[in-house]
Amino acid sequence: MKFSTYAGPLVAALVYSCPVLAANSSDNEPTLQLSTDSAFNFQFLIALGNALTGGSDIDPVLGVAKNIKAGDMASYSKEFHKLARDTKAQAQNPENAYDPINVRDTWFSASHYFRRTDFYLHGNWSNPLINSLWAEQTAAFNKAIAALPVPGKRILIPAKEGNFTIEAIWFGAPNSENRTLPTLVVGNGYDAAQEDSYHYFVAKALERGWNCITYEGPGQPTVRRKQNIGFIPDWEKVVTPVMDYLLSEKADVVDKDQVVLIGNSMGGYLAARAAAFEKRLAAVVLVPGVWNLYASFTRQLPSQLMDMYDAGNFTQFDKELFSLRKSGKLSTNAAWGLDQGLWSFYTHSPSDFLTQSKQFQLEDVVDKIDMPVFVGDGEYDDLTPGQAITVAKALGNKATLYQFNGTSGYHCQTGALQDLTRTMFAWIHKTLANA
Ligand SMILES: *[C@@H]1O[C@H](CO)[C@@H](O)[C@H](O)[C@H]1NC(C)=O
Ligand SMILES: *[C@@H]1O[C@H](CO)[C@@H](O)[C@H](O)[C@H]1NC(C)=O
Ligand SMILES: *[C@@H]1O[C@H](CO)[C@@H](O)[C@H](O)[C@H]1NC(C)=O
Ligand SMILES: *[C@@H]1O[C@H](CO)[C@@H](O)[C@H](O)[C@H]1NC(C)=O
Ligand SMILES: *[C@@H]1O[C@H](CO)[C@@H](O)[C@H](O)[C@H]1NC(C)=O
Ligand SMILES: *[C@@H]1O[C@H](CO)[C@@H](O)[C@H](O)[C@H]1NC(C)=O
C-alpha cells in the first residue's frame, strides 16, 4: 500500500478547526499569509484576533510567527510557551497590578498564550504539559475575570442525564438596577476552550449589555481533562442543564424570553442538536452550520483507506493511518486533526473515532428545531463544504443563511471577529424585535 501519493490534503478531512488548504496556494488566499503552513497561519489569525478584546498583543504574536518553523509543532509550542511565561512574569510584577485594566490585559494574554502553547500537544496523552499548561491558563484566566467590572464566576452544573459535570463561567452584564437582560449561551466544538469564548463573543456581548454563560461538556478541554470523558452526540444533555441553571439560579437577571445559543466550529452541530430538544431558546447562531461530521471527516480520505474501513478492516485501517501520521507526510492540519480527534473523542482507535462521528448528524432531528436560526457559512471554510446550505435548506423559513466572503471567509470568521459579531448581533437584534 502506497500512501505517499495521497498524504497531505487527502487526510486533512480529519481536521476540524482549520481550513484545509493546498500547500503554497497563497495566491488563492484572501489575506497575507503569516506562515507557509496554512495550519500555522490560521493559528496566528486566532492569536491576533484576541487582541481586539485584550487577549494578545500584535507584535509579540508576530515575533512568535517569525521564530516558528513551518510545520514544526514542537517549535510552535516552545515559542508560545516562552511568550506565555514572559507575559505571566509581567502580570506578576506588583507594579503592573496597580489597576484592574493592567491586571486583566496581562492575565488574559498570558492565559491565551498558555492555551496556544497546548494546542499541538494532544498526540501523546501522557505528556504532562497537557495538564500543567491547562492549570496555568485556568489560573491566569481566573485572575483576569476577577478584574472585570463585574467579576466572572466559575460554576459547576451537574448533568441530569449522563455521568458528567458541566464546566461553565457566568459573566453578568453591568446591571445596577437588577433588571432581567438578554443572555448569550456560548459553546465551542472540537478544540477551543470556554476561555477562548470570552475573546470570541463574551467581551462584545457584555459591551452590548448582554449577560453571558460559557460552558464545556464532554470532549471539551476542561471536562476532557478532569473527567476523562469524550464527546457525546446528544448535546441537549449539556445545554438543557445550563438553561435550567439560568432560569432558576439567575432568574432575577436573565430575561427568559431572550436567551440565545451560539455554537462555534463543530459547536455548529452541537448547538443545533441541542436546540432540537431545548424549546426555551429564543434563537440560535451557528458559526458555521454543520450537517454531518462523518461526511466532513471522511470526505477527503483516500478511497483505499475508506475501503478498508467500509470492509470492517478496522485494525488495518488504524495501523495504516498511524503509520501515515508517524511518517511525517501528513499536513500539519491533518496530523493535528487526528491527534485532537482521538483525544477529544477519548479513543486510541481512528476507526472507532470515525464510527462515533456517525452519530453527529442533524438529519434525524432537524425537524424539531423551531426557533430562528442564523446559519453562518465561510467562503474559505473547506471543512464542511456545502453543509451550511444543507442546514439552512432543511430549516426552511426558520433559517437565515449568511455567507461570509473574502477576508471574512475563513472557518469561524477567524481573524474577522468584528465582522462576525457585528453581523450576528444585528441579526439577533432584528430577530428578537420581531419575535
Ligand atoms: C512553497 O513555498 C515555500 C516558501 O515560499 C518554498 O520554499 C517551497 O519551495 C514551496 N514549495 C512548493 C512545492 O512550491
Ligand atoms: C509520551 O510522553 C511521556 C511522558 O513525557 C513519555 O514518557 C513518552 O515517551 C511519550 N511517548 C511517546 C510515544 O512519545
Ligand atoms: C461516573 O464517573 C465516575 C468518574 O469518572 C466513575 O468513577 C463512575 O464509575 C461513573 N459511574 C457510572 C455509572 O458510569
Ligand atoms: C440589586 O441586587 C443586589 C444584590 O442582590 C442588591 O444588593 C441591590 O440593592 C439591588 N439593587 C436594586 C436597585 O434593587
Ligand atoms: C480486509 O481484510 C481482509 C483480511 O485481511 C482482506 O482479505 C481484504 O482484502 C481486506 N479488505 C480491504 C478492503 O482492505
Ligand atoms: C457572499 O457571496 C455569495 C455568492 O456570491 C453571495 O450570494 C452572498 O450574498 C455574499 N455574502 C454577502 C454577505 O455579501
CB 20 within 8 A of CB 300: yes
State the distance from the centre of ligand 3 to the C-alpha of 113, rounded, in angstroms: 33
Per-residue pLDDT at 25: 55
Mean pLDDT by 10 residues, the chain (435 residues): 36 37 63 96 98 98 97 97 98 96 98 98 98 98 98 98 97 94 98 98 98 98 98 98 98 98 98 98 98 92 92 98 92 95 98 98 98 98 95 98 98 97 98 90
Per-residue pLDDT at 27: 72
Number of domains observed in the structure of the chain = 2
State the distance from the centre of ligand 3 to the C-alpha of 318, rounded, in angstroms: 28
Instruction: Look at residues 147, 168, 199 and tell me which one is the last residue of a structural domain.
Output: 147
Cα separation, 360 vs 405, whole angstroms: 27
Three cell numbers, residue 324: 501515515
**Number of neighbouring beta carbons within 10 Å of residue 29:** 16
Do 303 and 385 belong together in one domain? yes
Mutation choice for ligand 1 from 21, 24, 37, 331, CB with most ligand atoms inside 8 A = 24
Do 125 and 216 belong together in one domain? no
Nearest ligand atom owner, CA of 218: 3
Tell me which residue range forms the domain holding 57.
Answer: 31-147
State the distance from the centre of ligand 6 to the C-alpha of 18, rounded, in angstroms: 22
Do 241 and 295 belong together in one domain? yes
State the distance from the centre of ligand 3 to the C-alpha of 163, rounded, in angstroms: 6
Do 62 and 158 belong together in one domain? no
Mutation choice for ligand 2 from 121, 126, 133, CB with most ligand atoms inside 8 A = 126
Q: Which residues line ligand 1 (CB under 6 A)?
A: 23-24, 36
* pTM exceeds 0.75: yes
Do 8 and 156 belong together in one domain? yes
Nearest ligand atom owner, CA of 176: 4
Q: Which residues line ligand 6 (CB under 6 A)?
A: 403, 405
Do 365 and 241 belong together in one domain? yes
Cross-strand pairs, 401:
375
CATH number, domain with residue 231:
3.40.50.1820
Do 411 and 336 belong together in one domain? yes
Do 160 and 94 belong together in one domain? no
Nearest ligand atom owner, CA of 22: 1
Do 228 and 330 belong together in one domain? yes
CB 43 within 8 A of CB 119: yes
Whether residue 227 has its Cβ less than 6 Å from ligand 3: yes
State the distance from the centre of ligand 3 to the C-alpha of 47, rounded, in angstroms: 37
Nearest ligand atom owner, CA of 325: 2
State the distance from the centre of ligand 5 to the C-alpha of 314, rounded, in angstroms: 10
Torsion of CA 361, 366, 372, 376, to 10 degrees: 30
Three cell numbers, residue 419: 465582522
- Long-range contacts from 363-368, C-beta under 8 angstroms, 24+ separation: 363/291, 363/292, 363/394, 365/273, 365/276, 365/277, 366/272, 366/276, 366/391, 366/394, 366/395, 368/276, 368/277
- Please state at what angle helix 58-67 crosses helix 38-49, rounded to 10 degrees: 160
Do 198 and 246 belong together in one domain? yes
Per-residue pLDDT at 16: 38
Mutation choice for ligand 4 from 176, 177, 178, CB with most ligand atoms inside 8 A = 178
Cα separation, 82 vs 14, whole angstroms: 30
State the distance from the centre of ligand 4 to the C-alpha of 180, rounded, in angstroms: 12
User: How far, CA to CA in Å, does 394 sit from each of 27, 181, 289, 368?
Assistant: 35, 31, 11, 11
Nearest ligand atom owner, CA of 320: 5
Instruction: Look at residues 94, 120, 147 and tell me which one is the last residue of a structural domain.
Output: 147
Alpha helix stretches (DSSP H) within 276-362: 293-298, 303-310, 314-327, 332-344, 350-357
Instruction: Look at residues 147, 162, 193 and tell me which one is the last residue of a structural domain.
Output: 147
State the distance from the centre of ligand 5 to the C-alpha of 318, rounded, in angstroms: 13
CB 292 within 8 A of CB 360: yes
Residue with the smallest CA separation from ligand 3 atom 9 is 163
Per-residue pLDDT at 22: 38
Which residue, 171, 170, 173, 146, is CA-closest to 156? 170
Start-to-end C-alpha separation, the chain: 58
Q: Which residues line ligand 4 (CB under 6 A)?
A: 177-178
Three cell numbers, residue 204: 462584545
Per-residue pLDDT at 17: 34
Cross-strand pairs, 285:
262, 374
State the distance from the centre of ligand 3 to the C-alpha of 180, rounded, in angstroms: 38
Per-residue pLDDT at 435: 75
Three cell numbers, residue 357: 462521528
Whether residue 311 has its Cβ less than 6 Å from ligand 5: yes
CATH number, domain with residue 84:
1.20.1440.110
Residue 31 DSSP one-character state: S
